Amino acid sequence: MKVIQSCLIAMLAGASFYALPAVEAEAGRPAPSGFEVLTAEDVSFTYPEAQYPAVDRVSLEIRRGEVVALVGENGSGKTTLAKMLAGLYRPERGRIKWDDTDLDDVDADELRRSVAVIFQDFERYLLPARENVGLGRHERVYAFDEIVEAARRADADDFLSSLPEGYETMLGREFAGGYDLSIGQWQRVALARAFFRDAPFVILDEPTAALDARAESRLFERLRELLEGRSVLLISHRFSSVRSADRIYVLEDGRVVEQGTHDELMARGDRYVELFTLQARAYLGDG
């Protein structure tokens, strides 16, 4: 069983955050290690057999150190756009650039080392806690002090260090002596993995869906501090999470229909206000 497990680790380690890409990685010129500004220019993507594009002629901009949010109803194209920005899907039209470098021309595997992604269906590896965090940068899986620091930033250190064997405790009940975590704790481990990856571009797709309201509020209050100097693309259905973003893009049917800060969008009184009000009403009631 250990041999099989080790083989699985080797296969998964290089893609510890990612769903399977839509295209095979291709060798190209060296990828940039970061950017001052990321731009998507008129990008589109259509899934096989789909009648309409999931992302349709979208343009956006993310500057170094900014938190940029995507909002919209289910099926509006948010996650598909995020996967294109991460280099997982290649636009069928338009281009994505880091500064002046077109990402279509660079080595895809090398590019992905500069991106950390947590999608809604984050991975739960049947491995010791240390390795669950360390797979964020698998070549440094034995950098214990850095792993602990990443766990602290994700508010995961308290429960990981208190496990029967601390960070060497096997996670998951499938193995003898394995210890299972709650869904919220697993999500904190996934966040720790993203922090340990230490990439200049971080994509968080519903990163707090399994956290309680207090834990979610604490994370977003600290988001800029935790990811200082990095660019963050945040996808969330919870408008309380995105209102402090530097810029918010509202997607509908794969297109950007509005963009601006929370205050600018609220003053405009259009689609964003409609979605915001619907969510607020669900919490506060009609009265």
Query: What separation in angstroms does the CA of 166 have from each of 49, 268, 273?
Result: 48, 51, 46
Distance CA 57, CA 53 (A): 9
Kindly state the helix (H) or strand (E) to which residue 55 belongs, with its residue range.
Answer: strand 55-63
* Angle (CA) 18 19 22, round 5°: 115
Using the predicted structure, report yes or no on whether residue 254 has a pLDDT greater than 60.
yes
Query: What separation in angstroms does the CA of 111 have from each of 87, 107, 121?
Result: 7, 6, 22
Distance CA 116, CA 124 (A): 16
pLDDT of residue 268: 94
CATH topology of domain 123-198: Rossmann fold (3.40.50)
State residue 253 phi and psi, 5-degree precision.
50, 40
Using the predicted structure, report yes or no on whether residue 76 has a pLDDT greater than 90.
yes
pLDDT of residue 8: 38
Domain coordinates of the chain in residue numbers?
53-114+200-235+247-263, 123-198
CATH architecture of 53-114+200-235+247-263: 3-Layer(aba) Sandwich (3.40)
123-198 has the same fold as 53-114+200-235+247-263: yes
Kindly state the helix (H) or strand (E) to which residue 218 belongs, with its residue range.
Answer: helix 213-221
Cβ-contact 157, 195 below 8 angstroms: no
How does pLDDT run across 148-161, given as a tens digit for each residue? 999 999 899 999 99
Query: What separation in angstroms does the CA of 241 have from each of 103, 162, 195?
Result: 29, 30, 19
The residue type of 166 is G
pLDDT of residue 51: 92
Using the predicted structure, report yes or no on whether residue 184 has a pLDDT greater than 60.
yes
Query: What separation in angstroms does the CA of 247 have from each of 27, 44, 66, 258?
Result: 33, 21, 8, 10
Share of the chain above pLDDT 90, in %: 52
Global pTM value: 0.82
pLDDT of residue 135: 92
Using the predicted structure, report yes or no on whether residue 44 has a pLDDT greater than 60.
yes
Using the predicted structure, report yes or no on whether residue 183 has a pLDDT greater than 90.
no
pLDDT of residue 210: 58
Indicate the average pLDDT of the chain.
84
What is the band of 172 on the pLDDT scale with cuts at 50, 70, 90? confident
Give Cα 271 distance to the centre of its chain.
25
Using the predicted structure, report yes or no on whether residue 7 has a pLDDT greater than 60.
no
